[in-house]
Chains A and B, each alone.
Chain A
């Protein structure tokens, strides 16, 4: 390659002038540190980290978490303002394969090798507990949005972990409350749940609520986690005779299989609550018209009146998220997006040389009092759990089923269709 030399024009920058200028600038910086600080801050980085079950049964939902973390970064221009200085945002997210042991190992690595400044939550009770145990060992804190079990509160809540998701035992409270107002009032309920602490807690909450309303628990079916075939369960439901409510505590695929088996065995309860994941796109894609009348509960919907520093409404957030990621955000997206948002909020006015000091962070997060976020107003109780009144109730309605919020009244966009139309009559 030819070397091209260009003569220096009068007044043009040459090596000598650069050196002179550099020396003068250095001297100036030493004499006026306040002026030099913004230039030095350009290279500062805030490093966030976590592990998620990016492969395995929770692949889809953990992708939403990862996308939401990324979406927050994109929203803030990959910058976080800490104590008036801009920090570049950097993420390290590992795949923990839904293994608690692996999560513990990866959290150790995040803290000791990657030197992350802030830890965001894993997904799933066991993995969140494992992450919290390691964080606690190192005196660090986490904000998590992936575990609803009460065990989180008991073992790591408040001192180590702050939790954005409501308690599992409250998930179905409003759905049962709504069904309890129907005329005639449902006489009985069958609960399908799984042998895992969070699903058992969910079932216990539903059972308590039903009994408090005088609705008899006709069946509480606890299935192993690896159950694939729901026909024995639905056959048992059918043999019970008339069942007014069936409540699925399981995940989206279980909701799909239950509805398919209802249709296959010509069994139609008066109401079916498909759980907290009926808004996942796969449910509508697979069930189509059979989703009509299926109820669900959800933490979050775009029509809710939430706002934060970046979005004036939840709908605006939903539209921006869809434009960025190519799909409509589920409640997981709003919840995960809020985790780094909270960190950014409490660090904004940080002072001193150690803005990530866990004790100071813990105190600031615990002191939040109704911080407006995309996830709703944020306050934590003494166990580090968000105060959450209950999950709004929705129902899919129509031949091309559309989502309708039916309870509480403040959020309702329609009324409950009850009882359910027979599956066999739907063609």
Chain B
């Protein structure tokens, strides 16, 4: 049982990293971004292409994160911004459409095959923790996830941009009244969302096979993590990621043939018992 918890916890780090941006956008813009998974698979595809072309993996991952960050800003400026004040369903439809278009373009550009990299830490491929051998790369992913969560929390809590983000989250009208450039805050928020998701995609390449057509699966997984952790909370997304990782690992260990049903069943129960998640900030979705 201990190793199931341990490996699930490790896996959860990457789920958390994948969900940070989703949670941020949901919290600040109040929208469910159905194009979120596209950032993840595109991050993986760009990283794979650059790494295959000889770029060091760290540079490739950063370039991928920058690419998806820019894409996020582009989507915000060209699409979401234009329908933001309309019915929330419009944003859902629009982000879904964007997801389909971008993933199809990614299919054409990068191919539709599943991709996987063998990523080891040179000289130290494994570490022994207690009686368990762990690939060092997974420790790296775990640390990156923790550091990036801390970074996001620090930015949100201790910078003027963070204050603007929180102000927009709490009340868009009040933020505008005190002179905050709300469209710019939203633009940067989507940029951060894209960059974090792209980084997650880059790291996932060493853990799970990834392909552009898997974007919607990742959107759903990010959604599930946010549901567990609580809407709009970075800490919640981190804890949600870990819990989802353990739930996912245990489901595939104990009930492999019905694992997806077990996972969704558990989440339905979770929603019934605690609709706002573990660390939710209350109702954040626009009505």
Please tell me if A36 contacts chain B, counting CB pairs below 8 Å.
Answer: no
Residues of B within 8 A of A222 (CB): 256-257
A235 and B116 within 8 A (CB): no
B256 and A56 within 8 A (CB): no
Interface string of A218-246 (1 = CB under 8 A from B): 00011110111101110110000000000
* Partner-contacting stretch, out of B17-25, B68-76, B107-115: B107-115
Please tell me if B253 contacts chain A, counting CB pairs below 8 Å.
Answer: yes
Residues of A within 8 A of B163 (CB): none
Q: Please measure, in the bound complex, the distance between the C-alpha atom of A282 and the C-alpha atom of B52, giving whole angstroms.
A: 13
B257 and A286 within 8 A (CB): no
B118 and A224 within 8 A (CB): no
* B126 in complex: contacting residue of A60, A226, A264, A286, CB < 8 Å: A264
Q: Please measure, in the bound complex, the distance between the C-alpha atom of A260 and the C-alpha atom of B209, giving whole angstroms.
A: 12
A55 and B112 within 8 A (CB): yes
B118 and A260 within 8 A (CB): yes
Of residues 40 through 65 on chain A, the ones whose CB sits less than 8 Å from some CB of chain B are 55-57, 59-60
Please tell me if B186 contacts chain A, counting CB pairs below 8 Å.
Answer: no
A55 and B107 within 8 A (CB): yes
B11 and A195 within 8 A (CB): no
Please tell me if B233 contacts chain A, counting CB pairs below 8 Å.
Answer: no
Residues of A within 8 A of B51 (CB): none
A57-B211, A226-B217, A288-B118 given; A221·B112 CB < 8 A: no
Please tell me if B244 contacts chain A, counting CB pairs below 8 Å.
Answer: no
Please tell me if A386 contacts chain B, counting CB pairs below 8 Å.
Answer: no
Residues of B within 8 A of A288 (CB): 118
A253 and B4 within 8 A (CB): no
B7 and A235 within 8 A (CB): yes
Interface string of A359-370 (1 = CB under 8 A from B): 000000000000
* B135 in complex: contacting residue of A55, A232, A264, A287, CB < 8 Å: A264
Interface size counted on chain A using CB atoms at 8 A: 31
Tell me how far the C-beta of A285 lies from the nearest C-beta in chain B, rounded to whole angstroms. 9
Residues of B within 8 A of A257 (CB): 116, 208-209
Tell me how far the C-beta of B140 lies from the nearest C-beta in chain A, rounded to whole angstroms. 14
Please tell me if B95 contacts chain A, counting CB pairs below 8 Å.
Answer: no
A57 and B112 within 8 A (CB): yes
Of residues 246 through 262 on chain B, the ones whose CB sits less than 8 Å from some CB of chain A are 248-250, 252-253, 256-257, 259-260
CB-based nearest A residue for B128:
A266
Q: Please measure, in the bound complex, the distance between the C-alpha atom of A97 and the C-alpha atom of B106, giving whole angstroms.
A: 15
Please tell me if A256 contacts chain B, counting CB pairs below 8 Å.
Answer: yes
Interface centre among B113, B133, B253, B260 (most CB of A within 10 A): B113
Please tell me if B77 contacts chain A, counting CB pairs below 8 Å.
Answer: no
Please tell me if A265 contacts chain B, counting CB pairs below 8 Å.
Answer: yes
Tell me how far the C-beta of B58 lies from the nearest C-beta in chain A, rounded to whole angstroms. 20
B208 and A229 within 8 A (CB): yes
A223 and B4 within 8 A (CB): no
CB-based nearest B residue for A254:
B209
CB-based nearest B residue for A231:
B7
Q: Please measure, in the bound complex, the distance between the C-alpha atom of A55 and the C-alpha atom of B107, giving whole angstroms.
A: 8
B257 and A223 within 8 A (CB): yes
CB-based nearest B residue for A287:
B118
Tell me how far the C-beta of A124 lies from the nearest C-beta in chain B, rounded to whole angstroms. 14
A57-B213, A264-B133, A266-B133 given; A232·B253 CB < 8 A: yes
Tell me how far the C-beta of A164 lies from the nearest C-beta in chain B, rounded to whole angstroms. 24
A59-B111, A229-B11 given; A235·B257 CB < 8 A: no
Q: Please measure, in the bound complex, the distance between the C-alpha atom of A56 and the C-alpha atom of B212, giving whole angstroms.
A: 9
Q: List 27 A-B contacts (CB under 8 A).
A: A56-B112, A56-B213, A57-B112, A57-B211, A59-B112, A60-B113, A221-B256, A223-B252, A223-B257, A224-B259, A226-B217, A227-B252, A228-B208, A228-B209, A229-B207, A229-B208, A229-B252, A231-B11, A231-B249, A232-B7, A233-B256, A256-B116, A257-B208, A264-B126, A264-B133, A264-B135, A287-B118
In the A-B complex, list the 8 residue pairs whose CB atoms are closest, starting with the nearest.
A232-B253, A232-B252, A228-B208, A59-B112, A222-B257, A55-B112, A264-B135, A253-B209
Further 15 A-B residue pairs, CB within 8 A, beyond A224-B256, A233-B256, A266-B133: A59-B111, A224-B260, A226-B260, A227-B252, A228-B209, A229-B249, A229-B252, A231-B249, A232-B4, A235-B3, A235-B253, A264-B133, A266-B126, A288-B118, A424-B126
